[in-house]
Amino acid sequence: MIYKILGFVILPALIAAFFASIIPRKLEERRRFNEAANIFKEAFINEQRLLDYGSHAKRVGIPICDIIKDAIDRHEIAMMKFKPFVCKANIDAYEKAWKDYAENIEQYRTSRSIDIPDKRKFALSRINALLKFADPKH
């Protein structure tokens, strides 16, 4: 008899209490991730604007390499602040994306003006590979 009471009353109450404590915590984790992701992405907006031919930003005469070089410290700080929010299973890929983007800034240099559009796309692709880790959680 007592086992029936445990099975029909107490056990469902314990299960409900368990889920009632987990759901708000997961929602708060999601909110914090999305907030950190927005801050991380904001650190790259100016460089995305300067590298994107679709924008109307003044970029004549600014070498791609210099655009990245001028922003690399700010980007590294943003990368370090966002790192704790990256899923542990994705940390190696995140660090590789950062290394691919920032380790050799000279990869963005070109001496031929015909290569500039490709180098701009290349730099944007490296930035976008990093920002992929900050896709919002729903």
Domain residue limits, the chain: 33-134
Q: If you search the block for the tokens 């992405």, which residue do you land on?
A: 41
Query: Is residue 122 pLDDT above 90, yes or no?
Result: yes
The percentage of residues in the chain with a pLDDT greater than 70, rounded to a whole number, is 80
The reply to whether CATH 1.10.3470 applies to domain 33-134 is no
Average pLDDT over residues 113-136: 91
Residue whose C-alpha is closest to residue 41's, from 90, 79, 71, 94: 79
Mean pLDDT of the chain: 86
Check residues 1 and 47 and name the one with the higher pLDDT: 47
Hey, how many other C-beta atoms are within 10 angstroms of the C-beta on 71? 18
Query: Is residue 113 pLDDT above 80, yes or no?
Result: no
pTM (two decimals) = 0.80
Query: What distance in Å separates the CA atoms of residue 12 and residue 99, rounded to the nearest whole number?
Result: 50
Query: Is residue 130 pLDDT above 60, yes or no?
Result: yes
By CB atoms closer than 10 A (0-12, 13-18, 19+), residue 110 is: middle
**pLDDT recorded at residue 54:** 61
Average pLDDT over residues 114-129: 90
* Residues 58-79: tens digit of each pLDDT: 555 678 899 999 999 999 999 9
Check residues 21 and 84 and name the one with the higher pLDDT: 84
